[in-house]
Amino acid sequence: GKLMAQMGIKSEEIDAERVVIEKRDGSKIIVKNPSVTKVSMKGQSPTLQVAGEITEEAGGEGGDAEIVAKETGCTIEQAEKALKESGGDLAQAIIKVQGG
């Protein structure tokens, strides 16, 4: 509001479909249907406030592709291709690789 503007604070809504935070250990935090607000203050880096449905994905080398490869006996490359084609859906990717 007005008070925030007087203090040099601007906030804007960001129309985001999803937010993915990639952690150093390879795991991810995924926020679906997020409400994202960018808050800018004079003399400071902008901050993002994110709210929504949060899911966490464990990391590890290869992540989902490795799981698909283990489950189906395919190569990591085949697994990554199947994941891409299924939009990152693990179950769909496994079915795809198995010729479903």
Q: Looking at residue 18, which CATH number applies to its domain?
A: 2.20.70
pLDDT tens-digit readout, 63-87 = 788 888 888 999 888 988 999 899 8
pTM value? Answer: 0.51
Tokens of 87: 């939009």
pLDDT tens-digit readout, 8-40 = 889 999 999 999 998 877 788 889 999 999 999
For residues 62 and 84, the answer to whether their CB atoms sit within 8 Å is no
pLDDT of 60 = 55
Give the count of domains, the chain.
Answer: 2
Q: Looking at residue 86, which CATH number applies to its domain?
A: 1.10.8
Both 43 and 72 in a single domain? no
Both 41 and 79 in a single domain? no
pLDDT of 37 = 96
**Identity of the amino acid at 40:** S
| Residue numbers of the domain that contains 65 | 61-100
Confidence of residue 7 (pLDDT cuts 50, 70, 90): confident
Both 10 and 55 in a single domain? yes
pLDDT of 62 = 58
Distance between CA atoms of residues 32 and 99, nearest Å: 29
